Amino acid sequence: MNTVSDNPVLGVRHKLPNPCGAHLVARALKRHGVEVLFGQSLPSALLLVIAEFGMRQIAYRTENAGAAMADGYARASQKVAVVTAQNGPAAALLAPGLAEALKASVPIVAIVQDVKRTQTDKNAFQELDHPDIFRGCAKWVRRVTEVSRIEDYVDMAFTAAASGRPGPAVLLCPQDLLLEAVTPDSDGERRASLGTYPLDRCVADPARINEAAQTLAQAKHPLIVAGGGVHLSAAHDALARLQESASLPVATTSMGKGAVAETHALSMGVIGYFMGTRGMARHMRASIDRADCVLFVGDRTNQNGTDSWTLFPQSARYIHIDIDSQEVGRNYEALRLVGDAKLTLAALNEAMLRVDLSKRRAARSEVEQKIAAGKKAFHDEARGMLNSDAVPIRPERLMNDLRGVMTPDTLIVTDASYSSIWAMNYLTAGYAGQRFLTGRGLAGLGWGFPAAIGAKIAHPSREVVCIAGDGAFAHMWSELETAVRMKIKTTIIVLNNQILGYQWHAEDVMYGNHTDACQFSPVDHAAIARACGCEGARVENPAEFKPALERAMRSSFTTVIDVVIDPKAYPPLTLYEGARLFDRQT
Ligand SMILES: Cc1ncc(C[n+]2csc(CCOP(=O)(O)OP(=O)(O)O)c2C)c(N)n1
Ligand SMILES: [Mg+2]
């Protein structure tokens, strides 16, 4: 056994035993198909040896950004992402990112350093009760304490992350365990590769699938609502087949946007809590109200997606396909189809061949006409804002210009707050399976830019465009330096209204006033970008936006386009309907 090994990253020899616990972790990660680790040097032993296994570190500036990078990478790549952090404060900073991933069902393995085994519970430097921190934001939290069990635990972490309802798993690794010398060959070496998701696909009860087929065939006005689970399961082709062959109208949630092509005659667009004036699906309400059968697919029926559980008729019959049995019947008692969305939709498609679809065929043209009329009414209502030359700029105009410039290959990533709602309503999913990555699991500010970095790592040849509010972007400015240092090119559109818009407007509507936290001093985000070595463009006139966007997308450098937008602009939240927030918009 050697006591030193070559380190191809630093070009120096280091004093790790070879092999040691860190090699076992790295070898297992390699076996699971891991190519990148989002980290910041720690645990050092691990990050020092990964290059020997052909893996590299994407070095973040802050841990909360690192977790969001891992999230964006996992969503875009269909692979389990790996993020690492030091014990204590660094570990704690992973919590918001992992919480988003937990809610949005995104598989991440977090490898977190823990204090030396012999120093446990002695107030060692940065010792913290990690399991208690992570219990609320991870599916699985374990500490491995024996080198002989390292591979078992890494495999358990990947299994937890990628199987069932995907989500984050946290593996705590004591510092000394990673440095412990190990015997090179072990008989019990594992061989499975567990790094893609869904790890296991299982199908719902066939008898219930037949019942669902009958119910959908016999209903007067059936409707499908597709959530983010359709993307996670890569079930869009099966869903598109069901939509087309059974003539079923499909709406999506925000997370499900792109589960079907929004250009399809039977697609209603994104529904939920933003069906107010100029909302994309505003005029679909009658079609939802009359539904007597609703099929949810991969949808957690959350508050936003159901407009506070008011959107769907109480009298409707519900059918729910979900991998998580707890989600089925949580808010709507349903025919329970617990299983993977892709397999279960495929089985449902087969079952549809055995039922009489004459009702569906007969109803199709009327359903399509209603949807077409709803889309036309939306375009008529929104056209003015979509083409507005107003200064300060209307966000609808920006989305319209972005829609014209983006290609089917462009990957859109949005932050929380209004940025996601503008994108949901005014960008169009042109094909089934088109992804719009949005941090709506928990809607924490700041997720967008680092998630865009992660998505770019997953798809280096695709253009990645991030849309973020100025409040949100301030959470993650520091990662501009990461983008430069790691040569990760994205385009960031900062919607600079110089306020916490959603906060301000919602407080005004709900309380008649807003606090003094909501207004910022002026910030030039383009100048910040340039100071970090990125490109920066400041846009104050709508005509300047499209050329700036085209320039940014052509450039090989990360560009921040700081767009000064109208602080009075608010998206079509139903909460604001009738509130007459600002006279000029209502
Ligand atoms: C981490 C975090 N802190 C606070 C909030 C509460 N919040 C929701 S929207 C919002 C305002 C966001 O402002 P900005 O990012 O500038 O977007 P805008 O609404 O102005 O478009 C706030 C503070 C949150 N969602 N996440
Ligand atoms: Mg703002």
Q: Read off the pLDDT of residues 208-255 as tens digits, 9 standing for 90 and up.
A: 999 999 999 999 999 999 999 999 999 999 999 999 999 999 999 999
- Residues 526, 433: one domain? yes
* 185 part of a folded domain: no
CA angle 431, 432, 435 (to 5 degrees): 85
* 193 part of a folded domain: no
* 379 part of a folded domain: no
Closest atom of ligand 1 relative to the 416 alpha carbon: 25
**What 3-state class would DSSP assign to 183?**
coil
**What 3-state class would DSSP assign to 339?**
coil
- Res 365 pLDDT > 80: yes
- Residues 149, 48: one domain? yes
486-501 average pLDDT score: 98
- Whether residue 490 contacts residue 558, with contact meaning beta carbons closer than 8 Å, is answered with yes
512-529 average pLDDT score: 97
Q: Is 470's C-beta closer than 6 angstroms to any atom of ligand 1?
A: yes
Q: What's the pLDDT score for residue 184?
A: 73
- Residues 559, 415: one domain? yes
Pairing of strands 5-7, 12-14: antiparallel
- Res 478 pLDDT > 80: yes
Q: What's the pLDDT score for residue 15?
A: 83
Distance 10 CA to ligand 1 centre (A): 41
Segments forming the whole domain that contains residue 552: 387-576
- Nearest CA owner, ligand 1 atom 13: 500
pLDDT digits (tens, 9 = 90+) for 377-418: 999 999 999 999 999 999 999 999 999 999 999 999 999 999
Closest atom of ligand 1 relative to the 506 alpha carbon: 9
- Res 25 pLDDT > 60: yes
pLDDT digits (tens, 9 = 90+) for 532-568: 999 999 999 999 999 999 999 999 999 999 999 999 9
Q: Is 571's C-beta closer than 6 angstroms to any atom of ligand 1?
A: no
- Residues 353, 497: one domain? no
Domain closes at, from 163, 179, 195 = 179
CA torsion sign for 118, 120, 126, 130 is positive
Place of tokens 């446990």: 120
Q: Is 500's C-beta closer than 6 angstroms to any atom of ligand 1?
A: yes
User: How many Å apart are CA 309 and CA 88, to the nearest integer?
Assistant: 39
pLDDT digits (tens, 9 = 90+) for 123-156: 999 999 999 999 999 999 999 999 999 999 999 9
469-490 average pLDDT score: 98
Q: What's the pLDDT score for residue 2?
A: 40
pLDDT digits (tens, 9 = 90+) for 252-298: 999 999 999 999 999 999 999 999 999 999 999 999 999 999 999 99
Cα torsion 45, 49, 51, 57 to 10°: value is -20
Place of tokens 């407009």: 307
User: How many Å apart are CA 560 and CA 491, to the nearest integer?
Assistant: 6
Q: Is 563's C-beta closer than 6 angstroms to any atom of ligand 1?
A: no
Q: What's the pLDDT score for residue 284?
A: 98
- Residues 135, 89: one domain? yes
Of the residues 502, 507, 521, 568, which should be mutated to test ligand 1's pocket, given the most ligand atoms within 8 Å of the CB? 502
Residue 268 token pair: 């209603």
- Residues 343, 407: one domain? no
Q: What's the pLDDT score for residue 13?
A: 52
- Res 6 pLDDT > 80: no
Q: Is 445's C-beta closer than 6 angstroms to any atom of ligand 1?
A: yes
- Residues 119, 173: one domain? yes
10 Å CB burial of residue 168 (0-12, 13-18, 19+) is: buried
- Res 3 pLDDT > 50: no
Distance 514 CA to ligand 2 centre (A): 14
- Residues 233, 365: one domain? yes
pLDDT digits (tens, 9 = 90+) for 179-195: 999 987 655 689 999 99
Distance 500 CA to ligand 2 centre (A): 4
Mean pLDDT of the chain: 96
32-50 average pLDDT score: 98
pLDDT digits (tens, 9 = 90+) for 295-328: 999 999 999 999 999 999 999 999 999 999 999 9
Closest atom of ligand 1 relative to the 96 alpha carbon: 1
- Residues 470, 338: one domain? no
Distance 114 CA to ligand 1 centre (A): 33
Q: What's the pLDDT score for residue 69?
A: 99
Residues around ligand 2, an ion, CB closer than 5 A: 469-471, 497, 501
Q: What is the CATH number of the domain that holds 486?
A: 3.40.50.970
- Nearest CA owner, ligand 1 atom 16: 471
- Residues 129, 57: one domain? yes
* 335 part of a folded domain: yes
- Percentage of residues of the chain with pLDDT beyond 70: 96
Q: Is 21's C-beta closer than 6 angstroms to any atom of ligand 1?
A: no
Q: Is 447's C-beta closer than 6 angstroms to any atom of ligand 1?
A: no
- Residues 154, 236: one domain? no
* 68 part of a folded domain: yes
Q: What is the domain count for the chain?
A: 3
Q: Is 449's C-beta closer than 6 angstroms to any atom of ligand 1?
A: no
Q: For 529-563, b where at least 16 C-beta lie within 10 A, e where not — what string?
A: bbebebbbbbbeebeebbebbeebbeeeebbbbbb
Q: What's the pLDDT score for residue 138?
A: 98
Distance 468 CA to ligand 1 centre (A): 10
Q: Is 496's C-beta closer than 6 angstroms to any atom of ligand 1?
A: no
* 490 part of a folded domain: yes
Q: What is the CATH number of the domain that holds 340?
A: 3.40.50.1220
Q: Which residue has the higher pLDDT, 4 or 553?
A: 553
Residue 480 token pair: 């501009």
Domain closes at, from 348, 374, 400 = 374
User: How many Å apart are CA 578 and CA 271, to the nearest integer?
Assistant: 19
CA torsion sign for 420, 422, 426, 427 is negative
Q: Is 499's C-beta closer than 6 angstroms to any atom of ligand 1?
A: yes
Q: What's the pLDDT score for residue 543?
A: 98
Domain closes at, from 344, 374, 404 = 374
Residue 45: how many CB atoms within 10 A of its CB? Answer: 24
- Percentage of residues of the chain with pLDDT beyond 90: 95
* 62 part of a folded domain: yes
* 586 part of a folded domain: no
Q: What is the pTM of this model?
A: 0.96
- Residues 424, 565: one domain? yes
Of the residues 417, 475, 518, which should be mutated to test ligand 1's pocket, given the most ligand atoms within 8 Å of the CB? 417
Q: What's the pLDDT score for residue 584?
A: 46
Of the residues 421, 503, 515, which should be mutated to test ligand 1's pocket, given the most ligand atoms within 8 Å of the CB? 503
